[in-house]
Amino acid sequence: MTENIPENTSSETPPKKGMPLWAQITGWGVMIALLLIVFVGLQRAREGNVQAGAETASFDFTLPLFEGYEYEGKDEVSLTDLRGKIVVLNFWATWCVPCQQEADEMEEAWQHYQPDGDVVFIGVDYVDTEPEALAYLEEYGITYPNGPDMGTEISQAFRIQGVPETYFLDRDGVVQYVQKGPFATTQQIIGIVESLK
């Protein structure tokens, strides 16, 4: 423990020094980094979900579809493939009661547009279990493409605040309208889609 230290050369007390530069730089650095992180975190917490007017090109995704569902013959659908079409992106889950309220309306609206092929409905199943999801889809007789949100990546990209939430994308993939909570009537859905045409 004790080491031999050569006799100290100066016996007077040295002049008092300020805080060493490295400590100052580290202190400021850490403080600014911390404030920045918190600032960005705060921004995120406050901005909420993706708003109307947002481009979706930056977060393209490919949604694997549940068994028994397909889009144009494939068992997956990617957002970029849908450019040129109006997209109704609906986030839902089986454990979500309001989702059940709008399930029939969503299907009805889909039946209304399906023959045209101009409007595409996509159901994204948010943190759910597959057997439950399949049972739910069967119960409500939902026919539009549906798939699980693997790794919650799609919902994180849209920063959804809860389910159900529905995003209406125009032909350029730009979000035009966001519905939080369930739809009351089929007409409401159709009305919004028509306004995008």
Partner 1 sequence: MKKLNILILLIILTSLLAALPVSAQEGDNEVTDDEVNAIARELFCPVCENTPLDVCETQACKQWRELIRTKLEEGWTEEEIKQYFVDNYGARVLSEPPKKGFNLLVYFVPPIIILIGVVILFRAFKEWQGDNDYEDEDIETLEATEPETSENDSDANDYMAQFEEELKKTK
Partner 2 sequence: MLPSLGYGIIVITFLVTLYSVAIALYGENKKDGAMIESARRAMLITLPLITIASAILIYLLINDRYDVEYVWSVTNRTMPTYLKITAWWGGQPGSLLFWSWLLSVFTSAVTLRKWDRDRELLPWVLVVTGATLAFFLALNVFYENPFKLIPAGVPTPLDGRGLSPLLRHPGMIIHPPAQYLGFVAVTIPYAFAIAALITGRTDDRWIRITRKWTLWAWLFLTLGLVLGMRWAYDVLGWGGYWGWDPVEIAALLPWLTISAYLHSVMIQEKRNMLKQWNMILIILSFGLVIFGTFLTRSGVLSSVHAFAESEIGPLFFIFIAFTFIVSFSLLIQRWASLKSETEMRSMLSREALILLTVLLFLSILIISFWGVIFPLLSELFTGSKVTVGPPFYERATGPVWGALILLMGIAPLSAWGHSTITTLGRAIWKPALAALIFPIVALVSGITNWIALSGFTVIGLVITVTIREFFIGIRARSQNEHLNENYFAAFLHLIKRNRRKYGGYIVHISMVLIGIGILGIELFQTDTQQHLALGEEIELAGYTLRYDRLDQFMHEDGRRITRGEMALSKDGVYIETLAPRFDLYPDGQPMTIPAVRSTLVDDVYVILVNWEGITRESTPFKVYHNPLVKWVWIGSYLFVIGILVAVWKDEDKKKV
For residue 67, state whether it binds partner 1 (rule: CB under 8 A).
Answer: no
- Contact assessment for residue 100 and residue 107, using Cβ atoms and an 8 Å cutoff: no
> In the complex, what is the shortest distance from the CB of residue 35 to partner 1, in angstroms, rounded to a whole number?
18
> In the complex, what is the shortest distance from the CB of residue 3 to partner 1, in angstroms, rounded to a whole number?
8
Question: Measured in whole angstroms, how far is the alpha carbon of residue 117 from the centre of its chain?
Answer: 26
How many CA atoms, within 13 angstroms, populate the side-chain half-sphere of residue 140?
A: 24
> In the complex, what is the shortest distance from the CB of residue 29 to partner 2, in angstroms, rounded to a whole number?
11
Residues 4 and 159: their CA atoms lie apart, in Å, by 63
Concatenated DSSP letters for 147-172? Answer: EE-GGGHHHHHHT--SSSEEEEE-TT
Q: Which amino acid belongs to residue 60?
A: D
For residue 197, state whether it binds partner 2 (rule: CB under 8 A).
Answer: no
> In the complex, what is the shortest distance from the CB of residue 24 to partner 2, in angstroms, rounded to a whole number?
6
- Contact assessment for residue 186 and residue 109, using Cβ atoms and an 8 Å cutoff: yes
Quick one: tokens of 60? 């393209």
How many CA atoms, within 13 angstroms, populate the side-chain half-sphere of residue 132?
A: 11
Q: Which amino acid belongs to residue 73?
A: G
Draw the binding track, 141-180, toward partner 1 (x: CB under 8 A; -: no contact): -------x-xxxx--x------------------------
Q: Which stretch binds partner 2 (CB under 8 A): 25-33, 78-86, 88-96, 109-117?
A: 25-33
Residues 167 and 174: their CA atoms lie apart, in Å, by 10
Q: Which is nearer to partner 2, 45 or 117 (CB)?
A: 45
# residues near partner 1 by CB under 8 A: 22
What residue 40 binds from partner 2, partner 1, none (CB within 5 to 8 A, per partner kind)? partner 2
Residue choice 6, 10, 13, 115 for contact with partner 2 (CB under 8 A): 13
Q: Which is nearer to partner 1, 91 or 110 (CB)?
A: 91
Residues 105 and 93: their CA atoms lie apart, in Å, by 16
Residue choice 7, 8, 16, 115 for contact with partner 2 (CB under 8 A): 16
Contact set with partner 2 (CB under 8 A): 1-2, 13, 16-19, 24, 27-28, 31, 34-35, 37-42, 44-46, 151-153, 156
